[in-house]
Amino acid sequence: MSAPTLTTVWTASLHRELTLIWRSPADIVQPLFFFVVVVTLFPLALSPKPALLALVAPGAVWVAALLAVMLSLDGLFRRDQESGALDLLLTAPGVSVVPVTAKLLAHWLLTGLPLALIAPLLGYMLQLPVAVLDTLMVSVLLGTPTLTVVGAIGAALTVGLNRGGILLAVLVLPLYVPVLVFGAGVVRTALDGLPTGGLLAVLGAILALAVSLGPVAVALGLRISAGD
Amino acid sequence: MAIMWKTLKRWYHQLGSPRYFYRFCEAVLPWLVPVALAVLAVGLVWGLLYAPVERYQGNSYRIIYIHVPASSGALMGYIAMGVAGLVALVWRMKMAEVMLKALAPFGAALAAVSLLTGALWGKPTWGTYWQWDARMTSMLILLFLYLGIMALQNAIRDPRQAARAAALLAVVGVINVVIVKYSVEWLNTLHQGATLKVVGESSIDPSMKWPLLISMAGLWLLYAANVLIRARTEVLNRERRSGWVRRLVRDGEA
């Protein structure tokens, strides 16, 4: 039997991952629900005054999105590890980066993308002016893939450990700082009526770095966790 | 030049052997520790007692002789961890894994000292213990990164696997620190620029600069000594089943 081509591996992996997530809707709905609930807590905790809410809205939406992505990643590799599929993925012929990238893309499409799509609604609820809602959405759209990839490195390194959750947060949250600063910063810049192109480009550059090098690090992390 | 390169390569390979490394530590540590302490003492006494009073800040500036060495040590330690991590991942060198583990605790402590002295210095100078200034925030994130690496190492039982996991995190962390630095600089800057410059004129008077450089050298030497002590213990622990460690325990010599 000849080794499968990269395209075959890519298509098959992507199909498998999308099917798996699609068949457990809780994995899609729960991060989204978490996102909405956390954002709802802010007006209740701070004050319902519109002027104050608009001020904290970019940060509140961004912190909630960041936590939602991170928590969704905790189980990213666990099911595959328990079923043994992860070992097959790592020992299969060819590079493991391809199926890993497919997994990350599938995960982002069904958890990160919905967060970006619902972000404008939450921004509106926090009294952000309608004019900046598109910037909010674009910033979350550009930021969440980076969060997924960087968080996946942490998830890969902690996959075999019992106390995944809080350890994952300790490892990953400091790495999320730049995305948070620029992501929320873009929205605040838009609120001030200043041009946002440059900052969006920075977010895009960080995304390019994460997407190009991140999957390699994730695959390496999985190998290390498998005891290689 | 060629000879230097050859010597360096031989060192690299020799120090890669745990037994040779142990002997190296035994030879170096007895004088490295006292020299480090002496240099640090000279720098601190000179800086704290004899260096001139600063025109605007009075005596409160003297905390620079602890603050700057600690900050630079914390930063250098993390970069060294990144380099050790890269070597551990690419060449699977055991000693790089050991060094990585040995570098973390003292580096984290220095980051904490840097934050603490910075806060104490900030109160009389800026009127506040804490500001979300670029450098302060970077140092705080650096401390978190150190603690993350130590937490990961703690959580994994197998020492080799723990070290390799920490190595990957350290490499990712070094790339991240650079981006963090630029991101928080964009966010907010209150801190003064670098006073000591490798290239060009430093903006500090020589009478204040020399004790600072000596304190820095002393603290870095102390860091190196601490790393060697920790690495030596780790080597003995990892190699406890090998012949030379058994002989060392039995006869007192490797």
Q: A6-10, A90-94, B6-10, B225-229: which has the highest mean pLDDT?
A: B225-229
Residues of B in contact with A221 (CB under 8 A): 165, 168
* Separation of alpha carbons B156 and B231, rounded Å: 18
pLDDT at B219: 92
* Separation of alpha carbons A27 and A22, rounded Å: 8
Whether residue A194 lies within 8 A of chain B, CB to CB, comes out as: no
Q: Chain B residue closest to A202 (CA)?
A: B183
For residue B58, the cross-strand partners are: B54
Q: What one-character DSSP code corresponds to residue A3?
A: P
Report whether pLDDT(A37) > 90.
Answer: yes
String of DSSP letters for B38-75: HHHHHHHHIIIIISPPBTTTBGGGGGHHHHHHHHHHHH
- Residues 6 or more apart whose CB falls under 8 angstroms from that of B244 comprise B19, B22, B254
> How far is A180 from chain B, CA to nearest CA, in Å?
9
Report whether pLDDT(B149) > 80.
Answer: yes
Query: Cβ(A143)–Cβ(A211) under 8 Å?
Result: no
Q: To the nearest 10°, the Cα dihedral for A151, A152, A154, A159?
A: 140
Q: Is A227 helix (H, G, I), strand (E, B) or coil?
A: coil
Whether residue B173 lies within 8 A of chain A, CB to CB, comes out as: yes
Read off the pLDDT of residues B61-91 as tens digits, 9 standing for 90 and up.
Answer: 888 889 999 999 999 999 999 999 999 999 8
Nearest by Cα to A34 from A57, A3, A77, A65? A65
String of DSSP letters for A107-123: HIIIIIHHHHHHHHHHH
Task: Give the pLDDT mean for B119-129.
Answer: 85
CB contact under 8 A, B144 and A174: yes
Query: Cβ(B136)–Cβ(B118) under 8 Å?
Result: yes
CB contact under 8 A, A224 and B145: no
pLDDT at A106: 94
Nearest by Cα to A66 from A124, A26, A100, A116? A116
Query: Cβ(B143)–Cβ(B119) under 8 Å?
Result: no
Whether residue A208 lies within 8 A of chain B, CB to CB, comes out as: no
Q: Between B19 and A63, whose confidence is greater?
A: A63
Residues of B in contact with A173 (CB under 8 A): 144
Nearest by Cα to B124 from B68, B60, B48, B62? B60
Residues of A in contact with B158 (CB under 8 A): 227
pLDDT class of B194 with cuts at 50, 70, 90: low
> How far is B9 from chain A, CA to nearest CA, in Å?
27
Nearest to B152 among A157, A206, A220 (CB): A157
CB contact under 8 A, A181 and B183: yes
